[in-house]
Chain A
């Protein structure tokens, strides 16, 4: 490993800054003290969790360690490298995600494994790469690091999935992941993230994407698991003609707390970014969405749309939405919107007049609300997989 210096610097930083508090603007609505005060002394063990492989390329990690027996990365086309990040010598690791927050710093300092995907220039990989992180070791910390490099005019689809047991593990574990994505000029990287950790787990992830000229990057994040979680999604449109799509869906119940912080940096002109985030909250769940679009000076002809919609199913659920625009260029098209509400009484009534009972009508409308995000999923297998997940969650909530 050549990252000793990087790790040392990050460790120092982690020790000096420590965990953020709610006094910091970026962490105002998310109290991480349960993580900061918890003791993580869990022992590593192989995972007994089962999963469903989406396609033929699959990389499986058990409690943070790569398991070659359960993975399947044979017969890769030329120009495609998939393996452990520990074997990756790319000097760009840590260039995007350095030590923005204590979580990233901790990850950089202590990551033990993770995925590396390298797609050479001009190579198009049509099969989605399914990365599965299984976690069921009580009291463990998994600092996992992923590095995705999509070459010029190359194409890749990555599905990152975090799976935990459906019942609490007792002593919560903490997943602290960082994913760095480079999409070179003309490349296309589609990234999906499915988070269904154990109900008492902590899950934090920072995703950093660097998008070149005429390149496209998309991220779809679905979160249903964990007790306390946060996604930090940060994109930089660094070349003209770049395009970014960041969509997400968070389905929360009981006392779950999930926070999404999205930041899109329009550094140059003629780029597009579209964000659609939807949340359905039941019981005493709390959802936080903060989206910030920065249009830098001279980033003319930027087209940025951001939307956050929330559906509250219970009286005690709570939402904080902060859609922000920061604009320093004048020839731009920027809009953002946010809504919070419950299902439309009239739509329910209409369904009733058509002979659909209120319970079923309720379910239909709720699914329809979530479906707007699913519609945007381009990758067939991923859409089906996520669709089933959403349906299962809705059934659980209704039942």
Chain B
């Protein structure tokens, strides 16, 4: 019965995809395929300045010379890049479900468990187009007004290109150059939209910025590009993603996130990723190939990544910090959960260049079902990084004997004053732990939830409060059915 439901969800998703191509091509989407014309056309439709068009074309030309990397410990059938439409207007309403009754009941059950209000459920499931959302619109605009007063620019990427081209031009591609890697290059050529944020010198952003508020840029699809700049002494916390499973029609997501922290600036970037992971047999699901990188350019700057990855069929993501300024700090806190046939190859890179730079890595991988979960991380201390310090801890938890947990750290040290430590452990949930919980009246599933949450506590502590609560619930849902 359950399987059938999932099928219908798949069909639904598939349908929308299909119809999106045939109808209304003129007005809001380009035909599938990728060539220079398409890249130029995307740029033209977005009314972009000349330099940006050329930048995209340069990226595309470079992409043509590249090959898809194979080093990650993930397996998937080859992607036909010519079968993807690289530009579609914000929302295709043609085949969206007319009401919640048409939406996969399992998805709805999940929303309910997360305690998401009905209206939001509709938005998430794609019943209602986002641009028509009632309260949120006003909410969003109120916040934007407040931010503008402080000089903070927070808008969609396209808007930023129109309104603040000088800022975009100054920073775009300086952290993740268009030649960086296969997926980043593809993104550079065809990115559709994303968010842009600039916090002027000395300003502390008074609220957590979130894609949630950024209604106009929502649903920008698969090639999102985010650029966040914290000028001297600025401070900003950014939340990305959505805590409920996104109903999404795209298979391939190749996003790029660039962070720039100048002197004394602080950026905290939190992600909760819960894209559609595919069904129990591994059908469907999102391929999440993301390049995220932050530059601590100035002295005493700090960039902190926190991620909770529970969704996607394949996650391929290494949020990194380049610690260039003296005394700069990089942090990476991660929980990656894989169940059923999910695959995750995720970790971080910490590149120490400046003196007295510090980095902390805490990674928790949980693998259940037949999933494969890998930590892959690089810590590089360059010759100039006097007294650099790194501490890495990677813990894996295995639930069941058909899953895998792997650790692939890369440590490169070129300065004797550096102190680098790496530790990794592997555990499973002890039968005695479960038994103890059972005899205290907790169901096995609840007990697993409790133990797993304890395992991830170090990371959840780093999340902004409202996110942390949902992340905990999410963990429980992701691991459902993995025990017993």
Contacts and interface: CB of A to CB of B under 8 A. Distances in A.
A315 B384 CA distance: 10
B353 to A, nearest CB: 15
Contacts of A333: 426
A322 B410 contact: yes
A340 B420 CA distance: 5
Contacts of A319: 411-414
A275 to B, nearest CB: 13
Contacts of B416: 312-315, 317, 341-342
B398 to A, nearest CB: 4
Interface stretch (A64-72, A192-200, A324-332): A324-332
Given A330-B403, A337-B424, A340-B420, A324 B415 contact: no
B396 A338 contact: no
B422 interface: yes
B425 A335 contact: yes
Contact of A335 (B399, B418, B424, B428): B424
A320 B412 contact: yes
Contacts of B97: none
Contact of B420 (A313, A314, A334, A341): A341
Contact of B414 (A297, A318, A326, A329): A318
B144 interface: no
B423 interface: yes
A233 to B, nearest CB: 19
Q: Is the interface of B mostly helix, strand, loop or mixed?
A: strand
B401 A297 contact: yes
A121 interface: no
B397 to A, nearest CB: 9
A316 B428 CA distance: 42
Given A312-B413, A320-B410, A325-B424, A341 B404 contact: no
B405 A327 contact: yes
Contacts of B428: 330-332
A8 to B, nearest CB: 31
B394 to A, nearest CB: 9
A259 to B, nearest CB: 13
Contacts of A317: 414, 416
Contacts, number: 114
Given A317-B416, A336-B424, A327 B398 contact: yes
Nearest to A334: B426
A315 B409 contact: no
Contacts of B399: 330
A267 B414 CA distance: 36
Contact of B413 (A313, A335, A336, A340): A340
B212 interface: no
Contact of A323 (B71, B398, B424): B424
A360 interface: no
B383 interface: yes
A341 B412 contact: no
Given A297-B401, A315-B383, A325-B426, A336 B407 contact: yes
B413 A310 contact: yes
Contacts of A322: 408-411
B363 to A, nearest CB: 13
Contacts of A316: 383, 414
Nearest to B416: A312
Interface string A365-391: 000000000000000000000000000
B91 interface: no
Given A325-B424, A334-B425, A338-B409, A315 B415 contact: yes
B401 A338 contact: no
A321 B381 CA distance: 12
A318 B412 contact: yes
Contact of A327 (B396, B402, B420): B396
A87 B180 CA distance: 55
Interface string A273-301: 00000000000000000000000011010
B420 A339 contact: yes
Contact of B411 (A298, A328, A331, A340): A340
A43 interface: no
A5 interface: no
Contacts of B424: 323, 325, 334-337
Given A297-B401, A330-B399, A335-B424, A325 B418 contact: no
A337 B394 CA distance: 10
Contacts of A327: 396, 398, 404-406, 426
A25 interface: yes
B284 interface: no
Contact of A300 (B71, B401, B411, B412): B401
Pick the most buried of B381, B398, B399, B426: most chain A CB atoms within 10 A of its CB. Answer: B426
Given A332-B426, A337-B421, A341-B419, A321 B411 contact: yes
Contacts of A341: 416, 418-420
A25 to B, nearest CB: 6
B417 interface: yes
B31 interface: no
A339 B414 contact: no
Contacts of B419: 339-341
Pick the most buried of B411, B416, B418, B421: most chain A CB atoms within 10 A of its CB. Answer: B416
A321 B428 CA distance: 27
A335 B420 CA distance: 17
Interface string B174-216: 0000000000000000000000000000000000000000000
Contacts of B422: 321, 323, 336-339
A318 B412 CA distance: 7
B105 interface: no
A339 B421 contact: yes
6 smallest CB-CB distances across A and B, nearest first, come from: A312-B416, A330-B398, A340-B413, A321-B411, A325-B407, A334-B426
26 contacts: A312-B416, A315-B416, A316-B414, A318-B412, A319-B414, A320-B411, A320-B413, A321-B422, A323-B409, A323-B424, A324-B406, A324-B407, A325-B406, A325-B407, A325-B424, A326-B404, A327-B396, A327-B404, A327-B426, A328-B403, A328-B404, A330-B400, A334-B426, A336-B422, A336-B424, A339-B422
Interface of A: 25, 297-298, 300, 310, 312-342
Given A320-B413, A327-B406, 17 more contacts: A25-B71, A298-B401, A315-B416, A318-B413, A319-B413, A324-B408, A325-B426, A327-B426, A329-B398, A331-B401, A333-B426, A335-B425, A335-B426, A336-B424, A338-B420, A340-B411, A340-B413
